[in-house]
Amino acid sequence: MKFKALIFGVLVFASLMLLYRPSTEEKGGEVEAPVEKKGPQVVEGLPLPEPVETPKIHPKPEEPWARAIAESKKQATAEDSMKVLAQALEENPQSSEILAEMGFVMLQGMQDPQKALEYFERSLEIQPDNSDAISALANIYVKEGLTYRGIEVLKNLMNRAPGNTTIPIALADCLAKQGKQAEGLELLEDSRRRAEKEDSFTPYLGMMYLNTGNPAKAVDVFKRILEKREREGQSNSNQVEWARLDLANAWMAQGNYVEAESMIQGVLERSPKDKFAVELLERLKKSRPSNSL
């Protein structure tokens, strides 16, 4: 049976596509305290990537919890997997990994986010820097309308694991859902300054700059990301193409439709069926003023 966890980088762009629409169409969203804005509409909040099918936990074979998790994945049903994990937890009650895996089984296999939340919170009480559990936890807080609780828990986790780079992003998301984009942006900027790898925060900063009505800074962020990836020799890899579309989206927010369209068309020449590029181009055509043709 397949259970979903988090591949954090792969879906960043998918979240971004839903984040900003430079048109007059309204987009629904689960925002607890929306902030009215002037100019191009934005969607409050910074959606975290959804957990995906390939689990991000890579257990070491010699660990008892690793053997239990591997055995649970062989089971035919989620219920059977939970039985295996429950037995393993009795033998290893302080295993953050087993608790996190039980959360994923409960969330993805049994479709019970409230129960999954309990397992993720228990996992993080033991190991506050478990990034897989943090990301899943934050997604549940946002989807279930529990962002106030999420802010309290994530602030506590950040104090206990100050070097973890996932917690500030998750916390900024919950803050944004309450209409506190400025506070979330300040958190991300401060976290980036203190992080060993500054670029680990730049995609989220770019999104938050769009949310707070500063497309010029978003353009600067996404330009630096693209330049870095091109310097690393990634050429036309997915990572580079996503960076190009991120930049095109920011240019659209800035009103630079010519540069945005040129970038999108370049991606489509290499990948004609890229659904994100196709969607972004459609948005551009609908939102571009006639005098900018």
- Tell whether 238 is covered by a domain: yes
Residue 153 is classified by DSSP as: H
For tokens 């800074």, name the residue: 217
For tokens 């999954």, name the residue: 116
C-alpha 267/C-alpha 208 separation (Å) is 24
- Tell whether 208 is covered by a domain: no
Crossing angle of helices 215-231 and 202-211, in 10° steps, is 160
Highest mean pLDDT among 2-11, 175-184, 258-267: 258-267
For residues 143 and 293, the model is more confident at 143
**224 and 255 belong to one structural domain:** yes
Answer whether 52's CB lies under 8 Å from 6's CB: yes
Which residue range(s) make up the domain with 287? 214-293
Residues 112-126: tens digit of each pLDDT? 999 999 999 999 999
Confidence (pLDDT) at 96? 93
At 252, which CATH number?
1.25.40
| Token digits of residue 215 | 């497309």
Highest mean pLDDT among 13-17, 49-53, 117-121: 117-121
Residue type, 148: Y
Confidence (pLDDT) at 163? 82
Q: How many domains does the chain have?
A: 2
**40 and 159 belong to one structural domain:** yes
Residue 201 has pLDDT above 80, yes or no: no
Angle 213-191-236 from CA coordinates, rounded to 5° = 70
Question: Of 201, 232, 259, which closes a domain?
Answer: 201
Contacts 24+ apart (CB under 8 A), 99-102: 99/123, 99/126, 99/133, 100/57, 100/130, 100/132, 100/133, 100/136, 101/3, 101/55, 101/57, 101/69, 101/72
Q: How far apart are the first and last CA of the chain?
A: 51
At 38, which CATH number?
1.25.40.10
| Token digits of residue 47 | 């959606």
Confidence (pLDDT) at 278? 95
Residue 47 has pLDDT above 60, yes or no: no
Residue 12 has pLDDT above 60, yes or no: no
Residue 186 has pLDDT above 60, yes or no: yes
Mean pLDDT of all residues in 45-61: 46
Residue 60 has pLDDT above 90, yes or no: no
Residue 153 has pLDDT above 60, yes or no: yes
For residues 28 and 266, the model is more confident at 266
Residue 108 is classified by DSSP as: I
Residue 56 has pLDDT above 80, yes or no: no
> Whole-prediction pTM value?
0.66
Residue 154 has pLDDT above 90, yes or no: yes
- Tell whether 98 is covered by a domain: yes
Q: Where are the alpha helices (DSSP H) in the chain?
A: 12-19, 64-72, 78-91, 96-104, 113-126, 131-143, 147-160, 166-177, 181-194, 202-211, 215-231, 238-254, 257-270, 275-287
Question: Of 201, 229, 264, which closes a domain?
Answer: 201
**Model confidence at 214, in pLDDT bands (50, 70, 90)?**
very high
**Model confidence at 57, in pLDDT bands (50, 70, 90)?**
low
Answer whether 208's CB lies under 8 Å from 172's CB: yes
Question: Of 201, 224, 251, which closes a domain?
Answer: 201
- Tell whether 206 is covered by a domain: no
Mean pLDDT of all residues in 31-49: 42
